[in-house]
Structure 1
Amino acid sequence: MPEGNHSTVTEFILTGFPGLDPEYQGLVSAVLFLVYILTLTGNVTILFLFATNRSLHKPMYYIILNLCTCDILFSTVTLPKIISMYWFQTGTISFTACFVQMYFVHYLGSVNSLILFLMALDRYVAICHPLKYPIVLKNSNIQILSITAWIIAKTSPLMLVIRAYPLPYCSSNIINHCFCDHIGITTLACVNRAPYALPALIFAMFVLLGPLAFIVFSYSAIIIAVLRIANAQGRIKSLSTCSTQLIIISLYYLPRCFVYLASNVGIKFSSEVRIVIIMVYSLIPPMINPIIYCLRAKDMRESLWKQFNTKTVPKKAKVSAISN
């Protein structure tokens, strides 16, 4: 269809959280702003530690580096707009900008899923095939795989945008969501949505269930391999090396799988509940992932501790030098 068919709609209106009482909008925007600041602070701290400590230049931390970058970009694409909507009462977004946001929402979600796949692959090889680990997953290979993930993830979201952009949008321009996504936009098109919904569903299942299938396989193999270790202390140590990744993966996949399964077995959510669930599983993991890294990963804790020590020790040395 020609692009002119959508000329009746020049902008969309994001509702944010539908039904939110105006007296709570200030509180909600403050919470979202805090989430955004904590997400940026935590993930930038991880990037800084990686850049200043060569001891973190290991395959696992290269994967975490990609995950932090993806989390920063996703939060930056989604949160500022909804925060400004509540602060300045400007929920409008231009036609093109909405599709740009839609592309990055789906693109970064795809990258996130593929990076979690690499995270599971790292632990699978490390525990089930430890002798092959230095060869199979050396830093250069992880870098190539990470770059490949960022490139591969572009294709499907781009096709979704190309198919959805020319549709005729000639009725309502109100999107009941906090950001532009494929479902929110295409439901406003003045055509039968079914031909466009099926490719989007296939894309979502491929991005979500493909990596998840390998993740389930890899951690099942890890558990079996760990149970074969005779030494109890060895079993605990092996499990602790993948506990961080398992927590992060669970935070990403479990809520998404719950939403997809619930909709397929007939459990209905109101639009308000659905949006809250989506916002929780989209924004909370990027905020708390850095905390999990620092608390669970020994190398990360030590690097963070060294950064604090380098700032406090010189001050103490200067005070002692003056006193002498």
Structure 2
Amino acid sequence: MLNGNHSNVTEFILTGFPGLHQEYQGLASAVLFLVYFLTLIGNGTVFCLFATDRNLHKPMYYIILNLSTCDILFSTTTLPKIISKYWFQSGTISFTACFVQMYFVHYLGSVNSFILFLMALDRYLAICYPLRYTLILKNSTIYILSITFWVVANGAPLMIVIRAYPLPYCASNIINHCYCDHIGITMLACTDRAPYGFPAFVFAMITLLGPLAFIIFSYCSIIIAVLKIADSQGRRKSLSTCSTQLIVIALYYLPRCFVYLASNVGIKFSTDIRVVIVMLYSLSPPMINPLIYCLRAKDMKDTHSTVKVSSKPVG
């Protein structure tokens, strides 16, 4: 460890939900385990449907596949450790493991934001430029864009981890959260946090607001294009193709924007409330997204129905 002579911390302690009474810890762990289980089952179902039906091998579903991959990895990065805390009273995490977890938390959050950008791009081209859609957004284009986003998203999280790792940590080693993140860790450093916190804040804003700006632009353009459709049934059909993506985007962005806005206008939350809000907007979308797609996306719904019929015994 760099600057090891200046650091007395060899491990961190995750408090989870700080104000949670011991009698409710079993219930909390059961709920978290259920969330993790449903996330794996739901996103695993998306993979199975995609693998068993070539009709789903279209740009939109390759984007969904990226989203499911990101959701599984994020939940696997964050949930097992906090579940083990309440099941086995194992709330400690080693110094290096905490930074590894921090890296993946911010990296997968960045990837998720870029995937939602790609999702908005898909609907924008499909509705605003329908005749050019198949020429512009081919499967090969999605491959290239997806790989690019997974690679590019690696840069900033790696930078903030490299800068935070050698800081002197010689005070408290208690992180009031369910997982390691940049704010939670660097607040424990025995040095001025500003030179490290500000670049991380800028990175978060670019990652969050950059894709969000395009998403807002794309859906404003979509609404304008849909209003120009004379047929009311055609308008409804066009809007219905966007409703699934809008729900997923809202689940990801609205709580985050609320938390950032509240913190900047002086609204303060208790530690317990803050942790609960962060956990809700971090872990709810990975669990809910597959349900939204499997129920609302027509091709997936038809595939699911076909699988159910073919699985029934003959006679």
Normalised TM-score (structure 2)? 0.99
Question: 5 Å matches for 1:257-272?
Answer: 257-272=257-272
- Rounded Cα–Cα distance in structure 1 between residues aligned with 2:218 and 2:303: 29
CA contact (8 A) 2:47 2:65 kept: yes
Give the Å deviation of 1:231: 0.5
The CA distance in 2 between the partners of 1:305 and 1:37, in whole Å, is 23
Read off the aligned partner of 1:225 and give its amino acid letter: A
Residues 70 and 111 in structure 2, CA contact (< 8 A), matched pair in contact too: yes
Give the 3-state SS of the residue equivalent to 1:171 in structure 2.
coil
Q: Which amino acid aligns with 2:194?
A: A
**How many angstroms does 1:132 deviate by?**
1.1
Match for residue 174 of structure 2?
A: 174
The answer on whether the counterparts of 2:2 and 2:165 sit within 8 Å (CA) in structure 1 is no
Question: How far apart are the structure 1 equivalents of 2:100 and 2:83?
Answer: 18
Q: How does 1:287-298 map to 2 (within 5 A)?
A: 287-298=287-298
Q: Which amino acid aligns with 1:220?
A: C
Deviations 1:254-300 (A, max 9, x none): 00000000000111111110110000000001001011001110001
After TM superposition, the structure 1 = structure 2 runs for residues 52-131 of structure 1, keeping only pairs within 5 Å, are 52-131=52-131
Other-structure match for 2:242: 242
**Which whole-Å CA distance do the structure 2 matches of 1:305 and 1:276 have between them?**
36
- Residues 6 and 252 of structure 1, relative CA distance in 2, 3 Å threshold: farther
Question: What secondary structure sits across from 2:170 in the alignment?
Answer: coil
* Structure 1 residues 17-65: Cα deviation after superposition (integer angstroms, max 9, x where no partner): 0110100000010000000000000000001100110000000000000
Match of 2:283 in 1: 283
Deviations 1:235-263 (A, max 9, x none): 00000011100100000000000000000
Residue 47 (structure 2) pairs with residue 47 (structure 1): yes
CA distance in 2 between counterparts of 1:121 and 1:189 reads 41
Which residue pairs with 1:186 in the alignment?
A: 186
Partner of 2:27: 27
Cα displacement string for residues 102-127 of structure 1 (whole angstroms, at most 9, x for unaligned residues): 00000000000000000000000000
CA RMSD, aligned part only? Answer: 0.9
**What are the superposed Cα offsets for residues 137-176 of structure 1, whole Å, 9 maximum, x if unpaired?**
0100011101111000000000000000000000100000
User: For structure 2, which runs of at least 5 residues remain unmatched after alignment?
Assistant: none
Aligned partner of 1:205 in structure 2 is 205
Deviation at 1:6, TM superposition (A): 5.0
Q: Percent identity?
A: 76
Q: Quick one: distance in 1 between partners of 2:253 and 2:6?
A: 35
* 2:144 maps to 1:144: yes
CA contact (8 A) 1:5 1:166 kept: no
TM-score for the superposition, normalised by structure 1: 0.96
Equivalent residue number for residue 231 of structure 2? 231
- In structure 1, the residue corresponding to 2:13 is in which secondary structure? strand
Bigger Rg, structure 1 or 2: 1
| Distance in 2 separating the partners of 1:58 and 1:7 | 52
> 1:131 aligns to what SS in structure 2?
helix
Q: Which amino acid aligns with 1:108?
A: L
Q: How many Å separate the matches in 2 of 1:143 and 1:244? A: 22
Aligned length: 315
1:135 aligns with 2:131: no
Q: SS at the partner of 1:117? A: helix
Q: For residue 306 of structure 1, report the CA deviation from its aligned partner.
A: 1.1
Is the partner of 2:306 in helix, strand or coil? helix
